[in-house]
Structure 1
Amino acid sequence: MPDLLDFPAALRARRLVAIVRGTDPEASFRTVMTLAESGIPLVEVSLSGADALGVLRRARAELGADVWLGAGTVLTAKDARAAADAGANLIVTPGLGAGVDEAVRLGLVVLGGVLTPTDVIAAEAAGVTALKIFPASAVGGPAYLKALQGPFPRTPFVPVGGVDAAAAEAYLALGAVAVGVGSPLIGDAADGGDLAALRARAAEFVKVTS
């Protein structure tokens, strides 16, 4: 399993976390694999998707132990334990709470959701590895990231929510360590949509974040 301390370095190197949330477990699994094959190895499978734990188990078995594989929308301690049991070594949350606390207790890497300066302080005190600004598009986009960097210049921020290719480029130019991207990248692939179209979008995002 990757070293916990390596995750910030992986974020800075790859600069993109793909967010898979699908209604079709088989399509979601194929989406994860297509992303990995397309040069996007940091993938989060949202627990709000259909049979997300099954998707995680299959992806871990296929990808092996030495890659980052995230479980997203982790809300509770039970969620965190179930995600770990399914093979996730990265826990992604929309906010702070029991899911974060249990993941940290288990020694897992946490990309924890924050919105306000108070959230940032609480997240760092809780042991969160990197901070997901969510929903980034609802609070001013790149301008809000720049504002947060004033009091928190060394904090590893990952904006998520409404991040298309243009927004990704803007966030990264301002110093975000990475961006999290869902539907602008995944489209309908995790619901059974065209994987060739997914590959084309993946190529665009890889170019923007490289």
Structure 2
Amino acid sequence: MTSSVLDLAPVVPVVVLEDAADAVPLARALVAGGLPAIEVTLRTAAAPAAIGAIAAEVPDAVVGAGTVISVRNVADTVAAGARFLVSPGWTDRLLDAMKASGVPFLPGVSTTSEVVALLERGVTEMKFFPAEAAGGTAYLKALSAPLPQARFCPTGGISLASAPSYLALPNVGCVGGSWMVPADAVAAKDWARVERLASEASALRG
């Protein structure tokens, strides 16, 4: 894996799975569409098993855990096979656990003070969340001059139409989004549609 999650692909799919049995075919469709980094969020009971299945059966995928909000989440998901961690926000205790995990991580920020605090702790790569609600591209553009060392994966409310404006910013490495894994496609097991949407997303460039 490249040293940075931000450099794997222009878009990181943010996946919510109700059934772990869907994890492998979904991951294969995303990888076939050119999106190898897959964030499986810990919003359902199926998430840990889904992460484990992808890690074991889809070697070309780089599976990560999202919605990591506790030290236990860190330990459980890394044990399951997560190769990166994403949190919606952070505390000192959570940050310490993510740093000690041995895998790359993206702590969530939405304010300048949070960014500065992470830089103080030696962390330069972050999730900007909730991106659209927290100020969108205008906010990130404003941060780039005083804090050029910070790089972001904006997530939250981003679509195929809005993603290019984020990717054009010098401090954005990739964006997170769920538009290529719509709930109805997953429910219908329409993996061809997922692959097609992933292919459109992987072609995005700033």
Select the residue among 114, 118, 122 that pairs with 1:123.
Answer: 118
Structure-1 residue corresponding to 2:24: 29
Alignment match, 2:174: 178
Structure 1: segments with no counterpart, 5+ residues? none
Aligned to 2:77: 83
Identity %: 34
- Please report the TM-score for the alignment, with normalisation by the length of structure 2: 0.89
| Aligned equivalents of 1:129, 1:85: Cα separation in 2 | 25
- CA distance in 1 between counterparts of 2:65 and 2:197 reads 22
Partner residue, 1:165: 160
Match of 1:93 among 84, 87, 91: 87
Correspondence for 1:199: 195
Unaligned ranges ≥5, structure 2: none
Structural mapping, 1:48-87, within 5 Å: 48-64=43-59, 68-87=62-81
Q: Which residue of 2 aligns with 1:133?
A: 128
- Deviations along 1:109-141, one digit per CA (max 9) or x if unpaired, are 111100001111222334445211000010231
What is the distance in 2 between the residues matched to 1:33 and 1:14? Answer: 15
Letter paired with 1:200:
R
For 2:133 and 2:166, the matched residues in 1 are separated by 14
Greater share of helix residues, 1 or 2?
Answer: 1
Q: CA RMSD in A?
A: 2.0
Q: How far is the alpha carbon of 1:75 from its aligned partner?
A: 0.5
Give the drift of 1:177: 0.9
In the comparison of the two structures, how many residue pairs are matched? 203
Q: CA deviation at 1:21?
A: 0.8
Check conservation: 2:124, 2:149, Cα contact below 8 A.
no
How far off its partner does 1:67 sit? Answer: 5.4
User: Which runs of 4 or more aligned residues in structure 1 lie more than 4 Å from their structure 2 counterparts after TM superposition?
Assistant: none
1:99 deviates by: 3.1
Q: For residues 28 and 129 of structure 2, what CA distance do their matches in structure 1 show? A: 26
* 1:5-44 equivalent positions in 2, closer than 5 A: 6-8=2-4, 11-12=6-7, 14-44=9-39
Which moved further from structure 2: 46-55 or 82-91?
A: 46-55
